[in-house]
Structure 1
Amino acid sequence: MSTTTSEALSETTLLRFATAGSVDDGKSTLVGRLLHDSKSVLTDQLEAVERASASRGQEGPDLALLTDGLRAEREQGITIDVAYRYFATAKRRFILADTPGHVQYTRNMVTGASTAELTVILIDARNGVVEQTRRHAALAALLRVPHVVLAVNKMDLVDYKESVFAAIAEEFTAYATELGVPEVTAIPISALAGDNVVEPSANMDWYGGPTVLEHLETVPVTHDLSHCHARLPVQFVIRPQTAEHPDYRGYAGQIAAGSFHVGEAVTVLPSGHASKIAGIDLLGQSVDVAWTTQSVTVLLEDDIDISRGDLIVPSKDAPPTTQDIEATVCHVADAPLTVGHRVLLKHGTRTVKAIVKDIPSRLTLDDLSLHPHPGQLVANDIGRVKIRTAEPLPVDSYADSRRTGSFILIDPSDGTTLTAGMVGESFASPEPVKDEAEDDGWDF
């Protein structure tokens, strides 16, 4: 790549987006078509796909084979949470989180969409909106993904009928709007034939909107963490104890949100100790300001007790600490989550003991009704939980910060991830109930 091209790409914006869809909706073909038609596939990759396709007796390249390696790994029992793909056009750079479509991998969409600014939800035009479609829409709403693209695929198999597309788009948009999804853009496509993926379709002259790539290139990137409340979870303490720096004590981590500057008054949570930033080291150089996603080492004016798991925040903008957390979760483990369940809660870089005190409701995806007090959540359930932690935690609302407003629950016996949680998020607020958890030594 030339220097000029590299400089041009560095000045383009970055869009993180995720794909989601039911099994056999054509997601792999869509991803392959995007990569192929945007000329983001290397020549040797394309030649390998062409050879594999010819050996199967296919006339043209099967673009789904560009992702078949990952599918083969899953068939061999290898766990893959999310496959990330990187490509670029003259207008924008992209990070694509490619998530599996089977219902048992719904947990992977939570991972892939948690940092996405846009989600592409695929629907087979022959099947319309199905349960997995509704589940993906619900997760996009819970994860506060700003933009949702509804890609109605396989339009070639329904004779490119506008009425089929219109009915599906109307049903999905109404459902997504009820969930609180802020924006839905519906696009009729045929990933296999290439209609409306990168190039406009000659078979659907009734559609006047953008292609998938055009929309990806022009949609505004609205989720900018640099303007959120500043948060630095401490990952480790650096004390080189060298002759050159005998008193060096730095607190290293990746800035989760906002920005920090030298001289700023900060508070360390949950202890509440206050100090000022004496210096910021970034890639071995001293800087005056650092911001979201940069990995830095912060030096403070005062020698105070700080360790992994603590959170450094501006003193004027410190979140409250609490041992009682209410959140909406997506349960991802095969074993159920029950009232009274003893768990580990991981928030940022801090992990503490916790207990599930109540499960007030479970969401029914068909009609968005709430099943009150189900007693447990099983795999792929979305529900409301109340959790009591052994130690106070500084938590933000997920609406304020997707990074410091989220957490995961872990099985303390084997380290299995149980649920992904969003603090404060809720579809509705059922009536409070008496605490059902037993007094078993994990009550805090």
Structure 2
Amino acid sequence: MLTANSALLRKDEDALVDIGDYVAAQENKGLLRFLTCGSVDDGKSTLIGRLLYDTKLIFEDQLAALERDSRKHGTVGDEIDFALLVDGLEAEREQGITIDVAYRFFSTPKRKFIVADTPGHEQYTRNMATGASTADLAIVLVDARQGILPQTRRHSMIASLLGIRHIVLAVNKIDLVGFDRATFERIVEDYRSFAEELGFDSIQPIPMSARYGDNVTLSSGKTPWYRGPSLIEHLENVDIDAHAEGRPFRFPVQYVSRPNLNFRGFAGTVASGRIAVGDPVTVAKSGKRSQIRRIVTRDGDLDEAVEGQAVTLLLEDEVELSRGNMLVTPEARPHVADQFAANLVWFDEKPLLPGRSYILRTETDEVSATVSQLKHRRNINNSAQEAATSLELNEVGHCHFSLQAPIAFDAFADNRTTGAFILIDRLTNATVGAGMILRPLRRAANIHWQALDVTRQSRAEIKHQKPAVLWFTGLSGSGKSTIANLLDKKLHAAGRHTYILDGDNVRHGLNRDLGFSDEDRVENIRRVAETAKLMADAGLIVLVSFISPFRAERRMARELMNEGEFVEVFVDTPFEECARRDPKGLYAKALKGEIKNFTGVDSPYETPERADIHISTTGRTPEELVDDLEAWLKERGYC
């Protein structure tokens, strides 16, 4: 016979078993990451608030706060405004819009979910792309009264480019059109027609009212003509694992751990696949092979690590490996190249300019890069490919990239972690674009660097000078060409070997095919910089006289040269003085509107921030300035 105490003990033990089973069940449930997207005021935040409310994940104190906030900030009268659950920023509540990406967790008996609520405003497209970058499914909301809008198409295209294969077309606010079946079917037909070229594996249309919960967690009796699942039923059952199975092992190295002489580990997160102790691995960039000796974590060693786990790997051999490289499976190595094709979403208000140097950053690597060719941009209305010379804010283009050094990568379709990158503006450090790599671009197999017996050093020594590129920059009419020409004469008379590259002269030959748009100006400077580099390799002192209005291109020219070889000379003459001189009559025409894209008038000139030599021409003759330049060169051993 059980005593009262033993019965209570058995009851407590049963409770512990039940809790253990519950915890184990929760850990073994699958996880679905999804986002809500679409145009402004389509009900994205309201839908997530409704999901949290209906799945009983709002505590009483949260509900009380939500009721208070609804009275202050709400847009639905006396009812609860579920959008306020995720629109947490004060600016969002004041304006009734989503600005930042809000992440929320919820769970059902079948699955766990992480949902990203992304903004609908066009100016916050970069935030939508951030939310989509880790999602497996996208809920594209459409206001039943509005139908398919440009931002609906843009977000769908970005979702496709970012590897999302499953779409829920949530035709929201169906209550405001009287639960009309014809309206729903027309929107579905329009969307399927548009999305046919985007390559989604599944598109599940659902008529719903996020505000009242129709077809959100339960099927609604107000849409008897709809036979499909409710939203939560579809989210619980959609198969998202097909593309993840069987992917090769990828381990981008984030950090080399050396706490003592006996430990050298490579820390990072397994991007795909799995690895076990004893398995062979290859260093992606060098091809060196080794084996896994240990898999170390904070909680102890593991026998195996799988996708998503953060671990430190120790190898059997001493191999050269650091941040920016990857450990991979030997049988399926990634691409290693310095040129590739990619789709690019442009985020910046300033347009993308092919030829301009940006910082390209992958999961762990960073390298200087330029868009060598913009093949086309995508029309968001019909996905058509259109010719373009630049990308504007929120446009999507197909580009060829040229990198300063090779990186290891996969095609984005094969691996979203190792196939993605961002572009960063070199001057502002702002993220200006997000890219998805399509494939490497191979150089012709018969093109190699030719070894030369006569070096640049020997060419310079025979001329008794140090090679240099003096880059004269300033407004038209500032005196650049005059000063460069006088300096050239003086150096030539002293027996120095020089050459002048002048902006006007070069446009008669090398750059005769270029105009004066921002894109052409960038290419103009790129070609001249490459030419100046060749001349410096020949041991010459090169005098380059170009307006070169953009700091990014002057920085690009500097980085092409050897250390100490590039000398930026800022010829500083006030705009008014340049316009007064007007030696070619160009200012008069530009001020009348007869010449477009004229620097200083309707095209900007970006003043050098740290020029090597700053020449102020006010009150000084060109001869005096040249004397100062020659003295500067002699002091530093150039001549």
What are the equivalent positions in structure 2 for 1:4-153 lying under 5 Å apart?
4-54=21-71, 58-70=77-89, 72=91, 81-153=100-172
Give 1:80 deviation, angstroms.
6.6
Structure with a larger share of its residues in helix: 2
> What percent identity do the matched residue pairs reach?
44
Matching residue of 2:597: none
Answer yes or no: is 1:314 the counterpart of 2:329: yes
Shift of the 225–70 alpha-carbon distance from structure 1 to 2, 3 Å rule, reads farther
Question: For 1:217, which of 232, 236, 241 is the aligned residue?
Answer: 236
Whole-angstrom CA distance in 2 between matches of 1:333 and 1:263:
47
Distance 2:306 2:426 in 1: 34
The verdict on how the C-alpha distance between 1:299 and 1:9 changes in structure 2, with shifts beyond 3 A counting, is same
In structure 1, give the amino acid aligned to 2:220: S
- Is the 8 Å Cα contact of residues 99 and 118 (structure 2) preserved in structure 1? no
1:328 aligns with 2:343: yes
Quote the offset at 1:192 in angstroms: 1.1
Match of 1:344 in 2: 359
* Max Rg structure: 2
* Higher RCO (CA-CA < 8 Å; seq separation 6+): 1
Shift of 1:305: 2.0
What amino acid is aligned across from residue 295 of structure 2 in structure 1? I
CA distance in 2, matches of 1:315, 1:353: 28
Q: Which residue pairs with 1:392 in the alignment?
A: 406
| 1:375 aligned partner | 389
1:136-161: CA deviation from partner (whole Å, max 9, x where unpaired): 11112212212100000111110110
**Stretches of structure 2 lacking an aligned partner (at least 5 in a row):** 1-17, 440-518, 531-555, 561-639
Q: 2: CA distance between counterparts of 1:58 and 1:73?
A: 18
Deviation at 1:54, TM superposition (A): 4.3
- The amino acid of 1:319's aligned partner reads P
1:230 to 249, 253, 268: 249
Contact between 1:146 and 1:222, CA under 8 Å: does it hold in 2? no
- How far 1:126 moved relative to its partner? 0.4
CA distance in 2, matches of 1:308, 1:204: 55
Distance of 1:230 and 1:302 partners within structure 2? 19
SS at match of 1:326: strand
2:306 to 291, 297, 307: 291
Q: Is 2:286 the partner of 1:267?
A: no
Q: Please give the per-residue CA displacement for 1:2-28, whole angstroms capped at 9, x wherever unaligned.
A: 544332211211111011021111111
Which secondary structure does the structure 2 equivalent of 1:324 belong to?
Answer: strand
Report the Cα offset of residue 381 of structure 1. Answer: 0.4
Where do 5+ consecutive residues of structure 1 fail to align?
426-434
1:305 pairs, out of 295, 300, 320, with 320
State the alpha-carbon separation in 2 of the partners of residues 59 and 348 from structure 1: 47
Deviations 1:24-47 (A, max 9, x none): 111111111111111111211111
TM-score (norm 1): 0.91
Superposed, 1:417-436 pairs within 5 Å as 417-424=431-438
- Distance in 1 (alpha carbons) for counterparts of 2:100 and 2:426: 21
The structure whose residues are more often strand, as a share, is 1
- Assess, with a 3 A threshold, how the Cα gap between structure 1 residues 71 and 130 changes in structure 2: closer, same or farther: farther
Q: CA deviation at 1:273?
A: 2.3
1:257 is matched with: 272
Quickly say closer, same or farther: Cα 1:176–1:390, change in 2 above 3 A. Answer: same
**TM-score, with structure 2 as normaliser:** 0.64
Q: Cα distance, 1:223 vs. partner?
A: 5.3
Contact 2:253–2:267 (Cα < 8 Å) also in 1: yes
Tell me: CA distance 1:424–1:235, structure 2 relative to 1, closer, same or farther (3 Å). same
> What count of residue pairs does the alignment treat as equivalent?
429
Letter in 2 for 1:93: K
Do the aligned residues in 2 keep the contact of 1:226 with 1:259 (CA within 8 Å)? no
Q: Which residue pairs with 2:622 in the alignment?
A: none
